Amino acid sequence: MKVLSVVGNRPQFVKSAPLSLALREVGIEEVGLHTGQHYDRELSELFFEELGLPEPRYRLDLRTADSAAMQPGIETAARAERPDWLLVYGDTNSTLAGATAAAALGVPLAHVEAGLRSGDPTMPEEHNRIETDRLAQLLLCPDQRSRETLERERVDGRIEVVGDVMYDASLLFAPLARERHEPPHPPRSYVVATIHREANVVQPRLGRIAEGLNRLAEPVVFPAHPRTRAALERERIALAGHVELVAPLGYLELTALVAHARVVVTDSGGLQKEAYWFGVPCVTARPSTEWVDTVEAGANVLVDDDPERLAAAVAEARMPEERPHLYGDGAAADRIAGLLGTLARS
């Protein structure tokens, strides 16, 4: 049996790692395809080195986020490999390109993180999620809420709640991250900020978020996506002296940085979850989130781009004394590998 795994950005590399191990354990051949959606070395190549992932057999090296440009290369690989399943992760344009390629060729599609919804139709990621779920034959949900969403939408594919492969990855790699990397400030004395979504790196939103960071009293470590740094420079947005703009970090270094922070300010879906698992309160610079359970638990606050709300939320941020265990038990990858093998034989 063979699976063609399509990945294109950092979170997808991370999610693919435990599943790659699980697929090997059950004897499923995995062929990797890297779309090149994120081509910066710090955002892509280090994952093959840090996480020990096998090199992808196919590298489109497109250096674009255009899903239509990615689709022909994915189709070419799928025709050559004739996989039993084409596997996609999350909600990026690479996800959508993989889904549309599978549909065009009639290859069964499995979607990891199916059923997530932010409720914000202005987000490109929301459209990618909905269309990918519409096309998938196997919808792999992180939680029961996602299943219920898909049932309301009456998707055609088979729905399974498997847990979150990102939690599997966190269990695998967080101890290694802490061992390898020391934070630049004493633990719980600084804030980590990551801002990269397309809607947040244009004016006036980026300037308003920067204003909120400038109001904070603590050191802010700000690993900047290349698109974010370019926008800050282009728009001449000034950061206060305590906001430390640094180059993008490898996954392990960023994990260690977040795990020791007092608060995380982010627009990343993955970091909202990781902060929760590490016991670090989160402030999310978005009007909505697909990970609503973290908000309901009191561990995450949505502030949109309001600088006053951002600063107040960081100052007041505390993890609740009791919080539910969210998004799985660390065995999601094993469940997915088992389903892929069983369904291919049925």
Distance between CA atoms of residues 258 and 157, nearest Å? 36
Which of the residues are catalytic? 196
For residue 220, give the nearest of 182, 261, 272 by alpha carbon: 261
How far apart CA 341 and CA 127 sit, in angstroms, is: 29
- pLDDT of res. 10: 78
Give bridge partners of residue 6 from the DSSP assignment. 33, 88
Which of 200, 216, 217, 198 lies closest to 208 in space, CA to CA? 200
Walk me through the domains of the chain, giving residue ranges and CATH numbers. 2-164+328-345 (3.40.50.2000), 172-316 (3.40.50.2000)
Q: Are 126 and 117 in contact (CB under 8 A)?
A: yes
Low-confidence ranges of the chain (pLDDT < 50): 42-43
Which residue is it, tokens 């919080």? 323
The SS3 assignment for 194 reads strand
Which tens digits make up the pLDDT trace of 180-221? 899 999 999 999 999 999 899 999 999 999 999 999 999 999
pTM of the model: 0.89
Q: Return the pLDDT at 46.
A: 59
The pLDDT, as a whole number, for residue 252 is 86
Question: For residue 59, how far is the Cα from the chain centroid?
Answer: 20
DSSP 26: T
Q: Encoding tokens for residue 287?
A: 């009007």
pLDDT score at 50 = 65
pLDDT per residue as tens digits for the range 221-249: 999 988 899 999 999 999 999 999 999 88
